[in-house]
């Protein structure tokens, strides 16, 4: 029964992934070129601008760290929107999008953590402080890994998508609570003498490289995301083809 | 609904259920701590509430994967899905029964362990109170994880991995409420109220999400 | 200042390695999937819809 209804739905929605593949083929080269250009500009800007008088050269870490942290959050938002798409509109591409976004988001979160740690060592004198921001990003990282583990553990893509969509949404609702509670916990346990990452104002000198790097990273994310979605669609086609091959082989064996 | 509550309660209290194992696990975890940090009574009384909370958190995660799995194995999950009462209510009642069978014994066992950790009466009382308010939240979050992992053959570990990050706020506010009660300057009520709010919030979110996950994993 | 430069370069290196790893993983994954699809096509197994629409999707 379920096999039948699934087949019908797949059949009627097939135009959509196919159209998406065509679109992705057309769009991806442009995205890749734009990403490369922006990265070149961003990197040039971030190495030619002056260092901060207070933080010295380390301010250059910011041009990687802040975009990565921004992407870590944006990627989860993309996943949450895709989860809504899966559960509410049953859009066939939404679960592909959520599944493709998870590893990319985990990578950027990892990047944010590592660069934050590399920034923290010269600034705070420690690789890791239980700062509210670092801690909540770490929790986000754990959530990404849990979602990837869940996606891996289930073999049926349609079911795993819907189930993990529920979890993504619960996590999305939870992120503000986690953020708030970690901040509370932090003010409770830590003296306020720690140097904050955000200075009082940000010098326009830093704004341009930061901005261009942020845009470059965002474009990079979308490029990777579209490519990963395309891969995921291909992977599903391969599995369905393989199943079809097995089935037709079985039929031939029966006929003999 | 009430019949379901008592059925679940009886099943888990009877032999093979999670109640005894949960409490034993809780006691073992807390009893292992002094071997790790040394028998210094002052230190133990300082970290005692936190250790009790962590032990309770881990122990209540222990039995969670069984929340829906037994029903799935004997097929009664499909009956629960198809009956007239909304699935939401069923999940809520099942969570309540699970909490009464595994969470409540932890709360009852906590004073004894508090004595082991050289905590004073006030600290023990505060820990009990916060555990009473906080463990339902863990069960409700855990229900989401259990519903998500219900179809997996070895979902138990995955449930813990998925649920623990989401349970961090409960731990933070539970422990900080206890410390607020022990240390004078900090007020006890704000963190405790927030803890209650989190519990109520998850009492809504948990069953809704768990019911959605169950319905989607069934077909 | 020297040691700080090391931190800057380390963070950029980590970023480069992570991004490169991600890019190569995505590209490699795509190549492998496409190769598998080609193999199926060569073996004469086609998707039913592809037959219906004349393989416009590829």
The two most distant CA atoms of chain C are separated, in Å, by 67
Answer with the residue of higher pLDDT: B61 or B2: B61
| Interface with A, mutate which of B142, B144, B145, B162 (most A CBs under 10 A) | B162
Judged by CB atoms closer than 8 Å, whether chains meet at A107 and C22 is answered as yes
pLDDT given for residue A256 in this prediction: 66
Question: Which of A11, A111, A237 is facing C18, going by the closest CB pair?
Answer: A111
Answer with the residue of higher pLDDT: B88 or C53: B88
Query: Over the range A82-102, which residues count as b (16 or more CB within 10 Å of their CB) and which as e?
Result: bbbbbbeeebbbbbbbbbbbb
Whether the CB-CB separation of B19 and B8 falls below 8 Å is answered with no
**DSSP per residue, A67-79:** HHHHHHHHHHHHH
Domain ranges of chain B: 2-218
Answer with the residue of higher pLDDT: A72 or A208: A72
**A68 has a pLDDT exceeding 50:** yes
Name the residue in chain A with its Cα closest to that of C53. A15
Question: Which of A11, A58, A111 is facing C15, going by the closest CB pair?
Answer: A111
Instruction: Calculate what percentage of chain A has a pLDDT beyond 90.
Output: 0
| Interval C28-39: pLDDT, tens | 888 888 888 888
Tokens at A105, concatenated: 């988001």
Mean pLDDT over A183-206 rounds to: 56
**DSSP per residue, A7-25:** HHHHHHTTHHHHHHHHHHH
> Measured between alpha carbons, how far is B72 from B93 in angstroms, rounded to an integer?
17
Judged by CB atoms closer than 8 Å, whether chains meet at B205 and A173 is answered as yes
| Interface with C, mutate which of A42, A65, A141, A234 (most C CBs under 10 A) | A234
Query: With a threshold of 0.90, does the pTM exceed it?
Result: no
**A195 has a pLDDT exceeding 50:** no
Secondary structure class of A56 (helix, strand, coil): strand
Answer with the residue of higher pLDDT: C17 or A4: C17
Judged by CB atoms closer than 8 Å, whether chains meet at A166 and B144 is answered as yes
C contact set with A (CB within 8 A): 1, 3-5, 7-8, 10-12, 14-15, 18-19, 21-23, 25-27, 29-30, 33-34, 36-37, 40, 43, 45, 47, 49, 53, 56-57
> Measured between alpha carbons, how far is A70 from A134 in angstroms, rounded to an integer?
13
Mean pLDDT over B165-170 rounds to: 86
Distances in Å between the Cα of A195 and the Cα atoms of A28, A120, A138, A177, B85 are 42, 10, 19, 24, 55
Answer with the residue of higher pLDDT: B69 or B104: B104
Judged by CB atoms closer than 8 Å, whether chains meet at A188 and B217 is answered as no
pLDDT given for residue B18 in this prediction: 64
Give the sign of the dihedral formed by CA B88, CA A180, CA A72, CA A141: negative
Domain ranges of chain A: 27-237
Identify the CATH number of the domain defined by range A27-237: 1.20.120
Nearest in space to B59 (alpha carbons), one of B14, B24, B10: B24
| Interval A159-172: pLDDT, tens | 777 788 888 888 88
ipTM score of complex = 0.76
**B219 has a pLDDT exceeding 70:** no
| Interval A88-146: pLDDT, tens | 777 778 888 888 888 888 988 998 888 888 877 777 777 777 777 777 888 888 888 88
Mean pLDDT over A57-78 rounds to: 82
Mean pLDDT over B107-130 rounds to: 83
Judged by CB atoms closer than 8 Å, whether chains meet at A14 and C34 is answered as no
Helical packing angle, A157-189 and A92-124, nearest 10°:
30
Which positions ≥6 away from A52 have C-beta within 8 Å? Answer: A58, A59, A203, A206
Which positions ≥6 away from B138 have C-beta within 8 Å? Answer: B56, B57, B60, B61, B103, B163, B167, B170
Judged by CB atoms closer than 8 Å, whether chains meet at C8 and A61 is answered as yes
| Interval A6-61: pLDDT, tens | 555 554 454 467 777 877 777 888 888 888 888 888 888 777 766 555 556 667 77
| Interval B87-97: pLDDT, tens | 788 888 888 88
Beta-ladder partners of A56: A52
């Amino acid at each position: 029964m379920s096999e039948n209804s699934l087949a019908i739905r797949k059949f009627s929605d097939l135009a959509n992934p196919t159209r998406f593949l065509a679109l992705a083929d057309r769009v991806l080269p442009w995205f890749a070129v734009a990403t490369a250009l922006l990265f070149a500009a961003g990197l040039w800007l971030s190495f030619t601008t002056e260092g901060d008088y207070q933080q010295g050269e380390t301010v250059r870490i910011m041009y990687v760290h802040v975009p990565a942290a921004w992407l870590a959050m944006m990627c989860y938002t993309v996943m949450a929107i895709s989860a809504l798409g899966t559960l509410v509109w049953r859009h066939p591409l939404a679960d592909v999008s959520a599944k493709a976004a998870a590893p990319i988001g985990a990578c950027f979160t990892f990047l944010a953590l590592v660069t934050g740690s590399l920034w923290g060592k010269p600034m705070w004198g420690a690789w890791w402080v239980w700062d509210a921001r670092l801690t909540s990003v770490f929790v986000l990282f754990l959530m990404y890994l849990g979602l990837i583990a869940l996606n891996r553990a289930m073999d049926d893509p349609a079911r795993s998508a819907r189930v993990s969509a529920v979890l993504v949404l619960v996590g999305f609702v939870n992120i503000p609570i986690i953020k708030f509670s970690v901040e509370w916990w932090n003010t409770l346990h830590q003296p306020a003498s720690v140097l904050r990452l955000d200075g009082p104002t940000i010098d326009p000198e830093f704004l341009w490289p930061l901005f261009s790097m942020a845009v470059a990273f965002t474009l990079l994310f979308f490029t990777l995301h579209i490519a990963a979605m395309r891969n995921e669609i291909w992977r599903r086609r391969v599995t369905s083809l393989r199943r079809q091959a097995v089935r037709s082989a079985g039929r031939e064996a029966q006929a003999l | 609904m009430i019949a379901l509550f008592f059925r679940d309660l009886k099943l888990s209290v009877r032999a093979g259920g999670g109640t005894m194992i949960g409490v034993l696990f809780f006691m073992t975890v807390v009893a292992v701590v002094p071997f790790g940090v040394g028998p210094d009574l002052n230190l133990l009384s300082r970290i005692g509430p936190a250790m009790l909370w962590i032990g309770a958190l881990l122990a209540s995660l222990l039995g969670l994967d069984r929340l829906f799995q037994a029903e799935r194995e004997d097929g009664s999950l499909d009956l629960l899905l198809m009956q007239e009462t909304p699935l939401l209510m069923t999940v809520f009642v099942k969570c309540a029964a699970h909490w009464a069978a595994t969470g409540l014994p932890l709360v009852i066992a906590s004073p004894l362990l508090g004595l082991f950790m050289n905590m004073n009466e006030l600290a023990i009382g505060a820990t009990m109170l916060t555990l009473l308010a906080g463990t339902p939240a863990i069960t409700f979050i855990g229900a989401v994880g259990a519903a998500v992992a219900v179809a997996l053959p070895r979902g138990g570990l995955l449930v813990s991995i998925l649920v623990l990050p989401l349970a961090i706020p409960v731990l933070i506010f539970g422990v900080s409420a206890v410390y607020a009660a022990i240390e004078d300057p900090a007020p006890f009520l704000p963190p405790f109220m927030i803890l209650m709010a989190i519990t109520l919030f998850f009492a809504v979110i948990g069953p809704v999400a768990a019911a959605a996950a169950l319905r989607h994993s069934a077909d | 200042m020297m040691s700080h430069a090391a931190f800057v370069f380390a963070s950029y290196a980590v970023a480069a390695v992570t991004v490169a790893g991600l890019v190569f993983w995505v590209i490699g994954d795509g190549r492998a999937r496409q190769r598998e699809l080609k193999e199926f096509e060569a073996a004469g197994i086609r998707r039913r819809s592809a037959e219906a629409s004349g393989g416009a999707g590829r």
